Amino acid sequence: MKKVLVLYYSQSGQLKRVLDEIVAPLQQCDAVQCDYREIKPLHPYPYPWSFYAFFNVFPEAVYLDGCDVEPIEVEEEYDVIVLGYTSWFLSPSIPVTGFLQSEQARRLFADKPVVTVIACRDMWLIAQEKMKSLLTDLGARLLDNVALTDQGKSLYTFVTTPRWMLTGKKDAFWFFPKAGVAEEEIGASSRFGERLCSALDKDEEQGDGPMLSNMGAVNVNGKLIATERIAHRSFLIWSKLIKKAGIPNSQGRNVVITIYAVFLLTLVLTIVPLNMLIRKIMYPFRKKALDKAVEYYEQPSGR
């Protein structure tokens, strides 16, 4: 009997629905015991978020200052751990970071194969780099990564995802599509659970290769690689400034957050379109380097 532990933190329940699809075939698998558990922060985060609550978590998310989480009732050892997380400011969400920094995670993850499952707007590359370092710190082995992103072009989700986070509204409006991952994509995630079931039957989790290759586990948008890298560099600087301005929710911190929000909006309306145009022109000259970067971020499961 193989033992699988599935862990997640989801606010609206979207990531949980993805994991429900993956878990269902595992729970029907005779040779698998699947324990499905939620990561719960000691002090819950709001959803929907107020503007200031949303930006107040920015520095701590970026600098991987995890929060305290409730201990999870689990067995001592598992054959595989499936870890579902969302991206917050190009970083794993604070509750997931907090859990991975706990003593309990140290015991559970040591030497264990891990499958990460992400459901986010469309920027998860840097978050997954940070996840890799958190898992390395725990001595875990990342075998696979599944990443699902919100429907619609980046330009649209730049509006639909924040609107959803700040109001709880997911519906389509004007020319914008519905927020979140497409329903068909969520439903189709069951294929990963089915494959995991057969892979475990063949002891594939004991090898070093991926179990979920050639299944469309990830689809890296090459156009976003530079955007993420540039954004992250600026996130590091602004996070430091916001932290220096005061503790979470203090007046000092909220003043700098207001300045940052104005800066961000100006950047998005001016520099980002200009940058997109320049990159379009430069694309033929940079194609080789870009293809290589895409290939890197698609690892370990690939397209």
Ligand X SMILES: Cc1cc2nc3c(=O)[nH]c(=O)nc-3n(C[C@H](O)[C@H](O)[C@H](O)COP(=O)(O)O)c2cc1C
**Which residues contribute to the site for ligand X (CB under 6 A)?**
10-12, 14-15, 54, 57, 86-90, 119-124, 161, 165
DSSP H or E segment with residue 31:
none
Question: Helices 190-201 and 14-28, interaxial angle, to 10°?
Answer: 40
CB of 276 to ligand X, least distance (A): 17
Which residue lies nearer to ligand X by CB, 79 or 298? Answer: 298
Please, what is the Cα angle at 254 between 248 and 260, to 5 degrees? 115
CA distance 162 to 203: 42
Which residue lies nearer to ligand X by CB, 61 or 135? Answer: 61
Which residue lies nearer to ligand X by CB, 157 or 301? Answer: 157
Q: In which residue are the tokens 């978020």 written?
A: 49
Q: In which residue are the tokens 């001592």 written?
A: 76
Which residue lies nearer to ligand X by CB, 51 or 173? Answer: 51
CB of 268 to ligand X, least distance (A): 13
Which residue lies nearer to ligand X by CB, 39 or 197? Answer: 39
Please, what is the Cα angle at 139 between 138 and 140, to 5 degrees? 90
Which residue lies nearer to ligand X by CB, 92 or 193? Answer: 92
CB of 204 to ligand X, least distance (A): 28
Which residue lies nearer to ligand X by CB, 33 or 275? Answer: 275
CB of 272 to ligand X, least distance (A): 15
CB of 116 to ligand X, least distance (A): 13
CB of 160 to ligand X, least distance (A): 11
The secondary structure of 180-225 as a DSSP string is: SS-HHHHHTTHHHHHHHHHHHHTTGGGSSS-SSTTS------THHH
Q: Are 57 and 263 in contact (CB under 8 A)?
A: no
CB of 88 to ligand X, least distance (A): 4
Which phi and psi (to 5°) does residue 287 adopt? -55, -45
DSSP H or E segment with residue 253:
helix 251-269
Q: Are 103 and 149 in contact (CB under 8 A)?
A: no
- Of 66, 128, 149, 78, the C-alpha closest to 103 is 66
Which residue lies nearer to ligand X by CB, 59 or 300? Answer: 59
- Of 100, 121, 91, 79, the C-alpha closest to 8 is 100
CB of 119 to ligand X, least distance (A): 6
